[in-house]
Amino acid sequence: MTIDRLDARLLRVPLTRPWAADVTSVGVIATHVVRSDGAEGWGFSWTPQIGAEAVHALLQHDIAAAAVGRSAVPGEEWQALWEHLHEAGGGGVTTIALAGLDLALWDAQARAASSSLSALLGRRRESVRAYGSGVNLHYPLDELVAQVQRWVAAGFPAVKIKVGRPSLAEDLDRVAAVREVLGPDRELMVDANQRWDLDRATRSIDALAAYDLAWIEEPLRAEDLAGHTELARRLQASSGVPIALGENLHTRHRFEEYLRAEAAQIVQPNVVRVGGITPLLRIAERAEQHGVALHPHLLPELSGQLALTLPDGIAEPWAEVVEDAGFAELGALTVPSPVIVRDGRLTEAPHLGLGIRFV
């Protein structure tokens, strides 16, 4: 059973709530694979603003040409194809593009078995926790508070907001206002999106810790392994706030380096950025071995399904639900969403394969 054909097309999906002045849409590269036995699968690659055209070109030219005639069993050719693409970079656009094929192959495998993805992989839980999330650093305080109030009204037991305003005083005011809305029983996560250096991160996190943070996400430049290792040491000796990172690590090899260095207590692989389901499953195995929590990053329509299958040795995962950014909410799908988020829990709706087909 081999890959007979791979097609890709580029879509630009408008965002209801812009993530920044220049981020008003997200790029989706919808993929379609046909196997030699006639089975079909549909997948996708994704990048919010930068690189969608490059990803599309890699899929159309380099990946399609290299993939046709290879095994269509999910995962069997992933390493060989990654090595083939490595000349263009070990991660980034190459792994994002490779995810388009990997996801389509897993979809075809599940559809051929008349199964959902989670059933094919082995579902270990019927639901997972979900938290409200938003790209909201640019929101005025009243708009941020109103967003958090909507999440509370929707039943989310936890929320995540952005930090990293020009002054620490601004961050403290915003986090204090959010904690007041949440009360003491809901969890609060904050995300600095790589905005700080080591000393600024240390000062900021120690001050923000007064508001009972569940984690600090991407406090430093994502590639700064030494900095995260030192920050983890400092925080362990002071506030104890866990470090979460991973959305901008693009290979399982990088995750392994961070896990070995104990640079993070929580890893957050993005299923597309790491190259698909195949490498994410390997990252989950390593996270379990290191005793580190894993909460998949964004894309709850797919990440939520994968969270249901994560190893039992991993703490119960969170699914991230960004307000008004789901593919179904944005009108990007031809089918209903394969997941349902209600009262702070994510469950699956009946579907085959990934259950994700783009218009």
Catalytic residue among 56, 162, 228, 295: 162
213 and 318 fall within a common domain: yes
The two structure tokens encoding residue 242: 């866990």
d(CA 75, CA 248): 22
* Rounded Cα gap, residues 213 and 89, in angstroms: 36
- Where a domain ends, among 114, 145, 160? 114
Residue 358 domain-assigned (yes or no): no
Count of domains in the chain? 2
Q: Is 359 within the bounds of a domain?
A: no
pLDDT at residue number 351: 98
Q: Which residues pair with 232 in a beta bridge?
A: none
Q: How far apart are CA 34 and CA 30, in angstroms?
A: 14
Gyration radius of the chain over CA positions: 20
Helices and strands (H and E) in the chain: how many: 12, 13
What's the first-to-final CA gap in the chain, in angstroms?
28
Residue among 214, 206, 267 nearest 242 (CA): 214
Do 271 and 286 lie in a common domain? yes
**Do 244 and 261 form a contact (C-beta atoms < 8 A)?**
no
Residue 150, in any domain of the structure: yes
Does some domain include residue 56?
yes
Our answer to whether residue 297 is catalytic in this structure is yes
Does 310 lie in the same domain as 174? yes
Annotated active-site residue in 250, 295, 297, 351: 297
Q: Which residue has the tokens 């090899």?
A: 253
What are the residue ranges in the chain where pLDDT is below 70?
A: none
Query: How confident is the model at residue 201, as a pLDDT?
Result: 98
Task: Indicate whether 332 and 256 sit together in one domain.
Answer: yes
Token pair 């209903």: residue: 336
Q: What are phi and psi of 259, to 5 degrees?
A: -65, -45
Based on the domain organization, do 200 and 329 belong to the same domain?
A: yes
- Residue 20: other Cβ atoms inside 10 A: 12
User: Do 35 and 178 fall into the same domain?
Assistant: no
In the numeric block, the tokens 């996801």 are attached to 103
What's the confidence (pLDDT) of residue 20?
87
Alpha helices in 6-61, H assignment, sequence order: 52-57
Q: Which of 114, 148, 182 is the last residue of a domain?
A: 114
Residue 162 annotated among the catalytic residues of the structure: yes
Tokens of 146: 């109103």
Phi-psi region at 234: left, alpha or beta (left = phi > 0; alpha = psi -120 to 50): alpha
Cα separation, 245 vs 295, whole angstroms: 10
8 A C-beta contact, residue 300 and residue 341: yes
Whichever domain contains 207, its CATH number is: 3.20.20.120
Q: What is the pTM of this model?
A: 0.97
pLDDT of residue 4: 98
Q: Which domain holds residue 12?
A: 3-114
156 is a domain residue = yes
Whether 196 maps to a domain, the answer reads yes
Closest by CA to 104, choosing from 42, 166, 181, is 42
Query: 11 and 94 share a domain?
Result: yes
Do 53 and 171 sit in the same domain of this protein? no
* CA–CA gap between residue 10 and residue 101 (Å, rounded): 14
Do 153 and 171 lie in a common domain? yes
Shared domain for 292 and 198, answered yes or no, is yes
pLDDT value at position 21? 86
Domain presence at residue 356: no
DSSP letter string, 121-141: H----S-EEEEEE---TTS-H
Domain boundary among 94, 114, 134: 114
CATH number at residue 95: 3.30.390.10
Residues 217 and 290 in one domain: yes
Can you read off the two tokens belonging to residue 357? 């087909």
Q: Is 46 helix (H, G, I), strand (E, B) or coil?
A: strand
Return the amino acid letter for 49.
Answer: Q
Q: Does residue 357 lie within any of the structural domains? A: no
Q: Does 309 lie in the same domain as 178?
A: yes
- Determine which helix (DSSP H) or strand (DSSP E) holds 28, and give its type and residue range: strand 25-35
Residue with tokens 């920044």: 20
